[in-house]
A and B are shown apart, each in its own frame.
Chain A
Amino acid sequence: MPGVEELPSSDLTAPLQEVALKLELRGITKRFGALVANDQINLTVEPGEIHALVGENGAGKSTLMNVLYGLYQPDEGEILVDDKPVHFTSPSDAIAAGIGMVHQHFMLVPVFTVAENVMLGAERTRGGIAGILDRRRARREVAEVSERYNLPVDPDAVIEDLPVGIQQRVEIVKALTRDVDLLILDEPTAVLTPQETEELLAVMRGLKESGKSIVFITHKLGEVKAIADRITVIRRGKTVGTADPATSREELATLMVGRSVKLTVEKGPATPREPVLQIEGLVVDDDRRVRAVDGIDLTVRAGEVLGIAGVQGNGQTELIKAIMGLQPVLAGSISVAGERIDGWSTKKVLGAGVGYVPEDRSADGVVKEFSVAENLILDLYDRPPFASGPALNRDAIAGSAKERVEQFDIRTSSPGAAVGTLSGGNQQKVIVAREMSRPLKVFIAAQPTRGVDVGSIEFIHSRIIHERDVGTAVLVVSSELDEVVGLADRIAVMYRGRIIAIVDPDTPRDQLGLLMAGIVPDEIAARGDRGAYAGTAASDANEDKS
């Protein structure tokens, strides 16, 4: 049949409005040893609804979704699809029943094309026994699905060349080609820029209009309110409530944490004083010797928080590492309180009064096998009172650990417990406690609350503001725009190794979002406070205000 292409067996020609799937979870209980990860959880997803599942880290959201997706078997309870009980022993069962999942960490092969990734796991072959991969058909399927649901992707693009947002779209396309009616999105916005998030939300709305149901897992309350039809809150493995999007953020946060929390950072006006951290013309390469920081001038004053906003991978990491002496400085200078520190060893930089919370907590921040007490002295172990000569002073270490565990509200069974057994938030508090337990001139925090629960975020933010108020120059790097806006007195937006603007924290979000995408809005460009001398100009402006 030349020219006439056989349509795939999946029902792609069906009308747009499909009969969506109704999902019901009844009394799901999942135990791991003595830990009850899910305790009698009930969840109903109506056809064509966007159902948000919110809860803190470790609340049991992912466990529940893994039960639903056939990765775990529930100890109790049942799953009903369209009112019929089903039993999933593997993800393929779930897919067959019409349930698809987009994982937080993409399950894509970076060197394969979009079409190849989409057919992976459900490869169609032609040529009978020869088993030749039917790439053409895969490409066609991708094209059809992306057109139908308005998810433009190039079937022949190689995954590793695509931005994160598009990769995610490929994951969604992949799920849709499996003809699923309910899509689970596990923390889909964690890796996206504000613009990409907007696009994703639009895609979700489109899918909903085509009759798909969506379970949307997140802990970002703003997005939940923007898109969800209903919200289920999980705390410590239990369903604590179902809310509608009209519920205020504060109420939702209270449901999540179990007590009332302040979502906005409480702080008074800053009183910036003399410049402490001064960076001029800084040039740094990354580990692959690609230029990462391309001529940065930056000044942080005593008593102010300078926030660096930007999508990850725009040189923030290397900028901070260069300050800390962890990445060689190729050109330019860094000084702390008038003293040049570029070229110094990390130990010397720390000794000069720089506190540092690294962005990758488990890789750079803590030694998981070490006890809480040992981690609390990781960069102080060779100074009195913790060391006397070549020996460690165990009493001083234990005493100080006990004190700081209390002071920083570190939830641990004992200071002798390995840090690896603590939750992410408490590990982060260990790092913050360590870095704040010596006199500081500069405090640098990279992603200070990444993967940290709401309660700990509040605590860490208040400590950072406290540090500012005692006159430390604070530099905060975060890919979380809310965090930068909440903490910072001035915001420097970094894009491709440069500071493209320094703005006030009350700059509208959409403008910040554009800046993060490398576009300088006219309003900001007109003000002229961007580029090399923006640092001083904006901080002067700040001073005038306060």
Chain B
Amino acid sequence: MTNPVPPTQRTPDNEPAAAVRTAIAPDQDGPEQPPSLGKLFLANLWAANSATVTVLALVLSMLIGAVLIVLSSPDVLATFSYFTSRPGDALSASWEVISDAYLNLFRGAIFDGEAFAAWQAGEGSWQRVLAPISETLTYSTPLVFTGLSVALAFRGGLFNIGAQGQAIIGVICAALAGFLLPLPPVLHVVVAVLAGALGGALWGFIPGILKARAGAHEVINTIMLNYVATYFLAWIILQNGVKSPDRADAISKPVDASAQLPRLFGDDLRVHFGIIVAVLATAAVAWLLERSTLGFEMRAVGANPSAARTAGISVGKTYVLLMVVAGALAGLGGTNMVLGSTASALTPLVIAQIGFNGILVALLGRVKPWGVLAAALLFGALTAGGNRMQSYTGISLELVSVLQALIVIFIAAPALVKALFGLRAARAGRAQTKLAKGW
């Protein structure tokens, strides 16, 4: 029973590109103009996922999120108890709480009209106008790194579940270099960042060499090393010379100011130099994968290790290199959590879930570097907006995590999205399902 291959079959890569052409067609004036840089970026952004599926996944998760918002507010639920007599009450109350929540999500993540009006009137500062974007970029930065880490490993055929552990070792090394080494300003931050990358690289090297030499499966080993890293962090914070002498709880000394990543627009906005490094890292990973001989080896090993071996590529060496680079990227993600503006000292939860969210970001970005960047921006925006939503409307920040999870679930199950919206299951969707199965 052979599966017939239709002759019109295009490579999976062509498919989203075709979708992009139709998606951006209305903007085009001339027929065959060379695409501008912006359009190239858009193309990559959309190519990261079939545009329709991404948008629909967002819409669907927002809808489910809306239901959850209603369920989680007792006042609105109370109006539903007399729904039959006065349905208007329930509906307007629901609409109010939902729109309020999502409006605040938007204001916290992208643009706050009130702050803009205040600035126009000369009452507020321009920083307040840019604050939502600044927050979004701040939360996105570490996710770009961990997302790239997972995506790069995946392209080389490895499942790096260990970005979390690599980020933890990275944050420890960066923080130690940040408060233990007495170095002059610029050099200090460079050394601290490199220390973080090296720490992550080391933590990636271990499962890499185990895979190459002993054939040990990297999924098991990276998961186990996550635990080791987590508890190592909890332990090292309490050690003499590391623990803050002024505090009773588990927190380390703060990183020297000279080791902090500089903020881009002054102290009022949290966005820092890390986002620039993140964009550079995205470009570097994209170059590595598509334009370099090393990336050629990695992709060949990822797609068909036995053909790569037959062609003289050392599969083991490639696995080790992949995990080292992936670890370094995740380490940089961790570094941003302590040298950036979210925290300046180690705590047991200093890196939150950036490693695990990196897996989601990589999947959402369809394991392509620029797609990862776009996905990280979306996740950063949801977190930034969720903060405002929580403080303004009292809806828990956890809703954002639920939204993020739902988006990824729908992205991973394009057939489901398309069935829900009555779209014909396109080949692109099936390709995505295949990708999702890989996880």
A residues touching B (Cβ–Cβ < 8 Å)? 32-35, 37, 62-63, 66, 71, 324, 326, 345-351, 356, 358, 363-371, 374, 378-379, 381-382, 387, 390-392, 394, 417-418, 421
Check A369 against B293 for contact (C-beta < 8 Å).
no
Does B7 interact with chain A (Cβ within 8 Å)?
A: yes
Check A421 against B310 for contact (C-beta < 8 Å).
no
Check B6 against A392 for contact (C-beta < 8 Å).
no
Nearest first, the 6 A-B pairs at minimum CB distance are: A347-B312, A33-B6, A379-B311, A32-B4, A378-B311, A364-B310
- Complex CA–CA separation, A544 to B283 (angstroms): 64
Check B308 against A367 for contact (C-beta < 8 Å).
yes
**Set of chain B residues within 8 Å of A349, measured between Cβ atoms:** 312
Most buried by A among B4, B11, B304, B307: B307
Check B314 against A364 for contact (C-beta < 8 Å).
no
Taking the nearest CB of chain A, how far is it from the CB of B419, in angstroms? 21
Check A363 against B307 for contact (C-beta < 8 Å).
yes
**Set of chain A residues within 8 Å of B303, measured between Cβ atoms:** 367-370
- Complex CA–CA separation, A371 to B299 (angstroms): 12
Which A residue sits closest to B2, measured CB to CB? A62
8 contacts between A and B (CB under 8 A): A34-B7, A66-B1, A324-B310, A346-B309, A363-B306, A364-B310, A366-B304, A369-B11
**Set of chain A residues within 8 Å of B293, measured between Cβ atoms:** 381-382, 387, 390-392
**Set of chain A residues within 8 Å of B306, measured between Cβ atoms:** 363-364
Q: Known contacts A33-B7, A62-B2, A421-B9; decide if A367 and B300 are in contact (CB<8 Å).
A: yes
Within the complex, which residue of A63, A326, A374 is in contact with B4, where a contact is CB–CB below 8 Å? A63
Does B296 interact with chain A (Cβ within 8 Å)?
A: yes
**Set of chain A residues within 8 Å of B11, measured between Cβ atoms:** 369, 371, 417-418, 421
**Set of chain A residues within 8 Å of B402, measured between Cβ atoms:** none
**Set of chain B residues within 8 Å of A382, measured between Cβ atoms:** 293, 296
**Set of chain A residues within 8 Å of B309, measured between Cβ atoms:** 326, 346, 364
**Set of chain A residues within 8 Å of B300, measured between Cβ atoms:** 367, 370, 378
Check A394 against B312 for contact (C-beta < 8 Å).
no
**Set of chain B residues within 8 Å of A62, measured between Cβ atoms:** 2
- Complex CA–CA separation, A450 to B72 (angstroms): 64
- Complex CA–CA separation, A63 to B5 (angstroms): 12
- Complex CA–CA separation, A370 to B306 (angstroms): 14
CB contacts under 8 Å to A, within B110-162, are none
Taking the nearest CB of chain A, how far is it from the CB of B150, in angstroms? 19
**Set of chain A residues within 8 Å of B308, measured between Cβ atoms:** 367, 378
**Set of chain A residues within 8 Å of B299, measured between Cβ atoms:** 367, 370
Check B311 against A37 for contact (C-beta < 8 Å).
no
- Complex CA–CA separation, A378 to B303 (angstroms): 12
- Complex CA–CA separation, A417 to B291 (angstroms): 18
Taking the nearest CB of chain A, how far is it from the CB of B164, in angstroms? 29
**Set of chain B residues within 8 Å of A371, measured between Cβ atoms:** 11
**Count of interface residues, chain B, beta-carbon cutoff 8 Å:** 28
B residues touching A (Cβ–Cβ < 8 Å)? 1-2, 4-9, 11, 291-294, 296-297, 299-300, 303-304, 306-314
Extra contacts, 12 of them, besides A33-B7, A371-B11, A378-B307 (Cβ < 8 A), are: A32-B5, A34-B8, A71-B1, A345-B312, A346-B309, A350-B312, A363-B306, A370-B299, A378-B308, A390-B293, A390-B294, A421-B9
Check B291 against A392 for contact (C-beta < 8 Å).
yes
**Set of chain A residues within 8 Å of B296, measured between Cβ atoms:** 374, 381-382, 392
**Set of chain A residues within 8 Å of B291, measured between Cβ atoms:** 391-392, 394
Taking the nearest CB of chain A, how far is it from the CB of B286, in angstroms? 13
Taking the nearest CB of chain B, how far is it from the CB of A295, in angstroms? 25
**Set of chain B residues within 8 Å of A365, measured between Cβ atoms:** 307, 310
Taking the nearest CB of chain B, how far is it from the CB of A504, in angstroms? 32
- Complex CA–CA separation, A326 to B300 (angstroms): 17
Taking the nearest CB of chain A, how far is it from the CB of B325, in angstroms? 13
- Complex CA–CA separation, A356 to B9 (angstroms): 30
**Set of chain B residues within 8 Å of A324, measured between Cβ atoms:** 310
Check B312 against A379 for contact (C-beta < 8 Å).
yes
- Complex CA–CA separation, A495 to B321 (angstroms): 42
Taking the nearest CB of chain A, how far is it from the CB of B423, in angstroms? 18
**Set of chain A residues within 8 Å of B9, measured between Cβ atoms:** 421
- Complex CA–CA separation, A93 to B365 (angstroms): 47
Check A326 against B310 for contact (C-beta < 8 Å).
yes
- Complex CA–CA separation, A491 to B70 (angstroms): 81
- Complex CA–CA separation, A537 to B4 (angstroms): 51
Check A368 against B304 for contact (C-beta < 8 Å).
yes
Check B6 against A34 for contact (C-beta < 8 Å).
yes
Taking the nearest CB of chain A, how far is it from the CB of B315, in angstroms? 10
Taking the nearest CB of chain A, how far is it from the CB of B292, in angstroms? 5
- Complex CA–CA separation, A46 to B147 (angstroms): 65
Check A346 against B310 for contact (C-beta < 8 Å).
yes
- Complex CA–CA separation, A32 to B293 (angstroms): 39
Check A367 against B2 for contact (C-beta < 8 Å).
no
Which A residue sits closest to B288, measured CB to CB? A390
Taking the nearest CB of chain A, how far is it from the CB of B336, in angstroms? 27
Taking the nearest CB of chain B, how far is it from the CB of A385, in angstroms? 13
Which A residue sits closest to B299, measured CB to CB? A370
- Complex CA–CA separation, A345 to B313 (angstroms): 9
Taking the nearest CB of chain A, how far is it from the CB of B424, in angstroms? 13
**Set of chain B residues within 8 Å of A421, measured between Cβ atoms:** 5, 9, 11
Within the complex, which residue of B4, B294, B314 is in contact with A37, where a contact is CB–CB below 8 Å? B4
Check A35 against B292 for contact (C-beta < 8 Å).
no
Check B314 against A35 for contact (C-beta < 8 Å).
no
Taking the nearest CB of chain A, how far is it from the CB of B7, in angstroms? 4
**Set of chain B residues within 8 Å of A358, measured between Cβ atoms:** 310
Taking the nearest CB of chain A, how far is it from the CB of B366, in angstroms? 14
- Complex CA–CA separation, A220 to B308 (angstroms): 33
Taking the nearest CB of chain A, how far is it from the CB of B317, in angstroms? 10
Most buried by A among B11, B296, B312: B312
Check A32 against B6 for contact (C-beta < 8 Å).
yes
- Complex CA–CA separation, A66 to B3 (angstroms): 11
- Complex CA–CA separation, A435 to B36 (angstroms): 39
Check A367 against B6 for contact (C-beta < 8 Å).
no
Taking the nearest CB of chain A, how far is it from the CB of B303, in angstroms? 5
Taking the nearest CB of chain A, how far is it from the CB of B322, in angstroms? 16
- Complex CA–CA separation, A362 to B412 (angstroms): 28
**Set of chain A residues within 8 Å of B7, measured between Cβ atoms:** 33-35
Which A residue sits closest to B287, measured CB to CB? A391
**Set of chain B residues within 8 Å of A374, measured between Cβ atoms:** 296
**Set of chain B residues within 8 Å of A418, measured between Cβ atoms:** 11
Which B residue sits closest to A350, measured CB to CB? B312
**Set of chain A residues within 8 Å of B312, measured between Cβ atoms:** 345-351, 379
- Complex CA–CA separation, A62 to B5 (angstroms): 13
Which A residue sits closest to B308, measured CB to CB? A367
- Complex CA–CA separation, A364 to B304 (angstroms): 8
Taking the nearest CB of chain B, how far is it from the CB of A371, in angstroms? 8
Taking the nearest CB of chain A, how far is it from the CB of B9, in angstroms? 6
Which A residue sits closest to B13, measured CB to CB? A418
Most buried by A among B1, B293, B297, B299: B293
- Complex CA–CA separation, A417 to B297 (angstroms): 19
**Set of chain B residues within 8 Å of A351, measured between Cβ atoms:** 312
- Complex CA–CA separation, A34 to B5 (angstroms): 10
Q: Known contacts A347-B314, A390-B292, A392-B291; decide if A366 and B6 are in contact (CB<8 Å).
A: no
Which B residue sits closest to A418, measured CB to CB? B11
- Complex CA–CA separation, A37 to B5 (angstroms): 10
Check B307 against A366 for contact (C-beta < 8 Å).
yes
Which A residue sits closest to B6, measured CB to CB? A33
Taking the nearest CB of chain A, how far is it from the CB of B2, in angstroms? 6
Check B8 against A33 for contact (C-beta < 8 Å).
yes
Taking the nearest CB of chain B, how far is it from the CB of A454, in angstroms? 20
**Set of chain B residues within 8 Å of A346, measured between Cβ atoms:** 309-312
Which B residue sits closest to A380, measured CB to CB? B311
Taking the nearest CB of chain B, how far is it from the CB of A367, in angstroms? 4
